[in-house]
Amino acid sequence: MISIENLVKRHGSREVLHGVSLEARPGRVTGFVGPNGAGKSSTLRCLLGLDRADGGTALIDGRPYRELRDPLRAVGAVLDGSGAHPSRT
């Protein structure tokens, strides 16, 4: 399960995530959609430990990504779609 609670992320003085919370349960399809600049990639980057959140928690099966025993077997992610399909902009 993915659990994100009150996630906050700032880039300088600009707050790009403000209290984001969501839960994605196993066996269910969960869509994470929004317009450009809504914070989707920033949220996923915090979940995967690629960026550090300024507040809140982002957990996979109750643990931060960096604490998973075998993270590459537990989580798969493609954050840049151009690598998967060359004509994507």
Q: What pLDDT, on the 0 to 100 scale, is given for residue 38? A: 92
Q: Residue 27: which region, alpha, beta or left (left: phi > 0; alpha: psi -120 to 50)?
A: left
pTM of the model: 0.85
Q: Mean pLDDT in each 10-residue stretch from start to end of the chain (89 residues)?
A: 97 94 93 91 94 96 94 84 64
Question: In the chain, what are the domain boundaries?
Answer: 2-83
Please state which CATH class domain 2-83 belongs to. Answer: alpha beta
Task: Report the distance separating Cα 7 and Cα 32, nearest Å.
Answer: 15
pLDDT of residue 76: 85
DSSP 65: G
